[in-house]
Structure 1
Amino acid sequence: MHASTHPGEPHGARLGQRLNWLRAGVLGANDGIVSVAALVVGVAGATTATAALFTAGIAGLVGGAVSMALGEYVSVSSQRDSERALIAKESRELSEMPEEELDELTQLYRARGLSDATARRVAEELTAHDALSAHLEVELHIDQDDLVNPWHAALSSAIAFTLGALLPLIAILLPPPEWRVPVTFVAVLAALAITGTVSAYLGGASKVRAAARLMIGGALALTATWLIGTLLGTTVV
């Protein structure tokens, strides 16, 4: 009754989880690109001072990375707490009413298209092997050996945001003052086109549409902050 597998072939659920992590990394990089780019372009609209641009960029990078890490840690911690609570509940039910749980597992396999006799046999064999794992996989879609790790999620988010944020920070600091904003615009839009294409590929969506959405949104954000910086720089200074 076991499906054949090939050595080294990734498990379906774990492959899906890896794709989700990769997609989250791309989104984190997008956040770093757009938020820090908008910040430094806004400051560049008000002043050409390299120290001010560097300070604003580093502050945005550090603040954004910490914020992303904290948000991801809290979110994933809540998810892991929920999964642990469900595992404890299922374990308690298996201990207190094993027959009812066996019937429930049988019904779940019937719902998947197995005949009554086959569903019962599969349920009995899986229960004899590892009842808790069988119920968690079929009923709750949880792998108790592969629970999400909030520290990994927080670190991944912080790294993704930082890598994305470094692009506009470098683009705004390296060129001469008169080229800083145009170079940053071009670098950011090119990066967003790439990340949009990658995220669309991972999600099976239209690459052109996803890239265009990100590029338009990024261009609007940069234009808005540059105009605000220019206006405030003119009126305040």
Structure 2
Amino acid sequence: MSRYKIHRSHRTGWLRAAVLGANDGIVSTASLIIGVASAQAMHADILIAGVAGLVAGAMSMAAGEYVSVSSQSDTEQADLELEKDSLKNDFEFELNELANIYEKRGLESDLALQVAKQLMAHDALGAHARDELGLAENARARPIQAALFSAGAFTLGAVLPLLVAWNMPGTQLIPIVAVSSLAFLAILGSLAAHAGGAAMSVGAIRVTFWGALAMGLTATVGRLLGVTV
């Protein structure tokens, strides 16, 4: 057995964005296509609705991620500014504060103070950002990166059911899009669970359940509106 362990916590940022974006792309686009098709729309209209949903969804994901991650970044920056000011005006207090943190983690008082002094001599703000505020450098908020990644993942997910609908006109469109989209979701859920160290079957089941529910509800709405409008 290997002595080396593979830790996965560093994947949580990009993994969350990728899974959320691709899952939304598949579910929303497939549901939109099925809903419009259930209303007896023409094949061209179905494709137009699907493409419009792809563009609108990708932009919505990008805007949503940018705004939310920017808010997180603003909060982080405000906390860092407070730390900078405190380090400038009350260095001794910040030194003792950091030493107390290490002492609570199990170090003896003298050793905790010595560690705090050495770390603050090297990078005082970095030490407080990491150990007092919990802001690791590789986990800092990056709004533009988050927006681009989410929009890209959504687009990749949305393209899959759209391509299926493009090549499947006629009465078979709804069942083929539904089955293929659920298969895409199962694969996505399995890969995401594997990357996160969880059971692949669990990941597949939870995304396909919600995907099937969304498609079923949208098909019902489309069928009802197709009859009444």
> What is the number of equivalent residue pairs in this alignment?
226
Q: Deviations over 1:26-81 (max 9, x none)?
A: 11110111111111101111225221011100111111111111110010101111
> Share of identical aligned residues, percent?
49
Match of 1:41 in 2: 34
| Aligned-partner residue type, residue 188 of structure 1 | S
User: Are 2:218 and 1:232 aligned?
Assistant: no
Partners in 2 of 1:89 and 1:145 — Cα distance? 21
Q: Report 1:145-224 matches (<5 A).
A: 147-224=140-217
Match of 1:3 in 2: none
Any conservation in 1 of the 2:185–2:208 contact (CA below 8 Å)? yes
Partners in 2 of 1:121 and 1:178 — Cα distance? 75
Query: Could you state the TM-score of these two structures normalised by the residue count of structure 2?
Result: 0.90
Change (3 A) 1:145 1:206: closer
Match of 2:3 in 1: none
Q: Report 1:48-197 matches (<5 A).
A: 48-143=41-136, 147-197=140-190
Match of 1:6 in 2: none
Superposition deviation, residue 194 in structure 1? 1.3
Name whichever of 208-217 and 89-98 sits farther off: 208-217
SS of residue in 1 equivalent to 2:172: helix
Q: Deviations over 1:141-195 (max 9, x none)?
A: 2246863221111111111111111111111121231221111111111111112
Name whichever of 200-209 and 52-61 sits farther off: 200-209
Superposition deviation, residue 21 in structure 1? 1.2
Change (3 A) 1:41 1:146: closer
Superposition deviation, residue 20 in structure 1? 1.9
| Aligned-partner residue type, residue 53 of structure 2 | G
Query: Could you state the TM-score of these two structures normalised by the residue count of structure 1?
Result: 0.87
Any conservation in 1 of the 2:193–2:200 contact (CA below 8 Å)? yes
Change (3 A) 1:47 1:141: same
Q: Which runs of 5+ in 2 are unaligned?
A: 1-5
Partners in 2 of 1:41 and 1:180 — Cα distance? 8
Change (3 A) 1:211 1:28: same
Change (3 A) 1:207 1:128: same
Any conservation in 1 of the 2:11–2:196 contact (CA below 8 Å)? no
Q: Which runs of 5+ in 1 are unaligned?
A: 1-9
Partners in 1 of 2:187 and 2:138 — Cα distance? 35
Any conservation in 1 of the 2:24–2:154 contact (CA below 8 Å)? yes
Match of 1:7 in 2: none
Partners in 2 of 1:204 and 1:16 — Cα distance? 10
User: Are 2:24 and 1:31 aligned?
Assistant: yes
